Structure 1
């Protein structure tokens, strides 16, 4: 059965999407709210998909779900619209044809759709094999169609998610991504989404905490005592900067572009209010701000991952081994004897890095030591011993 959609209706939908996106862009350039833009772009696409779903008269037994960035209401201007068509059972030939026509129609309306068609059992099988699929499904939300099928999917997915395995898989995935994006080209023209200290590092924390039932936002993590309220606010400020850079990159390139390429840096700097100075060009000022943000996110990411590991693997604690009066070894991490050590004795800042060099078994610092070091960073000045 063909979908009962006229060319005029398709053109109307295309115009609705173009006009809606232009309004969103104009509004963003006025209020500069990344949160509003990303959420309202998702709502705009929701509205379009719901109308198309209703008009195409697909079977009432199936569901249309938003997944990925679209699922978490963070749809950037030129990002793909990731959807999952969830089926109660294997489709027949007629339904397959209808779904093919639906996807073609979505492309005709101007949506860059990334789609999958799966049964509930197929979702379970794919999630078990691929951590990327599992992560996408974690963020799924219902757009249209059968509500009870979606609820069954959601309950099954969360019930069967192995929290410890999920943490280890996401941690390994982050390490592999960092290795891939750590060469010189990416350092000079960083990817604000994928590079170390980018948006993906922050999303990784939320994925893990959500999958383990510890929260879906920074303030929820603060309520769980995984981070402090002040750290939650810091993270949100850093996240907002990267969101705004990524949004501006999309608008400037007029396509999905997440790299801070040299060709874009000068214009972006001007848009962020930087001007050329005798000592530094505007683009250099923008990049310095980006690098400071990326460095802060990397540190906060490490602190949060350690705190989440302690929550998820509570039996992993080992008795501390004293290294000297100021530091001890906690498992394979360096721990300060007290949280005020760096502020009371600034020379301990250098000592902690010396100990890391002297003890190859140490792989980093504990979350509390990293926090203490971060608080004491202001002491690194011309008077530093």
Structure 2
């Protein structure tokens, strides 16, 4: 269902321009008016999940309209990939698209050039590629970033049979264990870039440890593993509890709202929570200085609590996903009457242990201290 604020817009097939010539001024106006409507709605009643969905719907409408007006050949397919494919466009996110061509088709260079140029002129921050299915196979086999982007593909326009064929090829070529290893290494390298610290003074709400990327990494691996695309689905597969799923969703919404406000505040794709923006965001959220604490400090304390939970969830869920993808090679080794080692991971012998005896949590720390090989 289209968002209510956009229902009054004419359909992309209405008032179509000359075949092969996209109406850049028309679509630019539609995009800007839609963005203004979404911004006003967000500040009137902040709702980050709704905003990123409606931002995606608005962008879909513009991109599809331009595709049709450029006279693209019927055998080609237009795919949304990455965050755009996922349906989560923040106000100044990149819009990543893939033009998928059959091997037998000569690339329609003029039409493709008009299409991409029009989208740039309209005001979209575009990331684009033109490939055949074999070229996608080759690229995703050597580049985990491309593999991840294609994981979240979505057909926008064009040949559905070609899209379905590509989806089958993608699934057949996806080595889930290798994907897990590559994404884990990618996360380690990203964390090192930020000194592996959750409490940076000017954190990047997307990339820093405890940021949105840590949550996306878990969901990418879960999706590739067939274990769910949402926190509720992960809970239904036994990777977390429903209480934990609700808690992480709340923190995801909070950090996501910080990112939305940063984009609107700076007028660009800015994900760093620098000192000047901290004060401005605190003011937006009606936080006030107190005798013992500045408003910006109260904001950052709230952010650090959210980031801490995100990082904890990321660590636990990656361990749980690893255990699903790599079943224990050996039988559990008892440590005492309450704990055991499963492939060098500390485990309880009774799932109700901590509920029955909360003090056992302290014993778990002692067990790890006694055996440094345990994790």
Query: Do both share a fold (TM > 0.5)?
Result: yes
Find 2:93's aligned residue among 56, 60, 79.
Answer: 79
Deviation at 1:341, TM superposition (A): 5.4
For the pair 1:329 / 2:341, whether they are aligned, the reply is yes
Question: Any unmatched runs of 5+ in structure 2?
Answer: 1-17
1:353 CA displacement = 3.7
1:209 and 2:222 correspond = yes
Q: 1:185 to 1:299 in 2, by over 3 A?
A: closer
What is the rounded CA distance, in whole Å, between the counterparts of 1:185 and 1:327 in structure 2?
30
Whole-Å Cα distance in 2 between the matches of residues 200 and 43 of structure 1?
22
Q: 1:327 to 1:223 in 2, by over 3 A?
A: closer
CA drift at 1:190: 0.8
Query: What are the within-5 Å matches in structure 2 for residues 25-104 of structure 1?
Result: 25-89=39-103, 92=106, 95-104=108-117
More helix by share: 1
RMSD (Å) for aligned C-alpha atoms: 2.2
User: Structure 1 CA distance, aligned partners of 2:197 and 2:356?
Assistant: 38
Q: CA–CA distance in 1 between the matches of 2:221 and 2:163?
A: 22
Distance across 2 between alignment mates of 1:35 and 1:321: 45
Helix, strand or coil at the partner of 1:187? coil
**Is 1:116 the equivalent of 2:129?**
yes
Q: 1:316 to 1:295 in 2, by over 3 A?
A: farther
Cα deviation, 1:19-49, whole Å, max 9, x if unaligned, reads 1101010011112110111001001010001
Deviations 1:144-180 (A, max 9, x none): 1111111111121112211211112112211221122
Aligned mates of 1:61, 1:354 — CA distance in 2: 63
C-alpha displacement of 1:200: 0.8
Aligned twin of 1:369: none
Per the TM alignment, residue 326 of structure 1 is displaced from its structure 2 partner at its CA by: 5.2
Q: C-alpha displacement at 1:327, in angstroms? A: 4.2
- Quick one: distance in 2 between partners of 1:185 and 1:230? 23
Q: Structure 1: give runs of 5+ residues left out of the alignment.
A: 365-385
Q: Distance between the aligned counterparts of 2:198 and 2:356, measured in 1?
A: 40
Paired residues of 1:64 and 1:85 also in contact (CA < 8 A): yes
Instruction: Give the Cα–Cα distance (whole angstroms) in 2 for the partners of residues 189 and 215 of structure 1.
Output: 33
> CA 1:90–1:103 in structure 2 vs 1: closer, same or farther (change >3 Å)?
farther
TM-score (norm 2): 0.89
What TM-score do the two structures reach when normalised by structure 1? 0.87
Q: Distance in 1 between matches of 2:187 and 2:44?
A: 35
The verdict on how the C-alpha distance between 1:11 and 1:317 changes in structure 2, with shifts beyond 3 A counting, is farther
Q: CA–CA distance in 2 between the matches of 1:161 and 1:117?
A: 21
Q: Which residue of 2 aligns with 1:178?
A: 191
Secondary structure (helix, strand or coil) at the match of 2:200 reads helix
Contact in 2 for aligned 1:71/1:140 (Cα 8 Å): yes
**Number of residues paired by the alignment?**
358
1:356 is displaced (CA, Å) by 3.3
1:342–1:218: structure 2 CA closer, same or farther, 3 Å change rule? Answer: closer
Deviations 1:277-320 (A, max 9, x none): 11211111111111111111111112211221222222445422
Contact 2:198 2:307 in 1 (8 A): no
CA distance 1:354–1:319, change in 2 (3 Å): closer
Moved more, 204-213 or 311-320: 311-320
2:127 is paired with a residue of what secondary structure? strand
Aligned-partner Cα distance in 1 for 2:169–2:75: 18
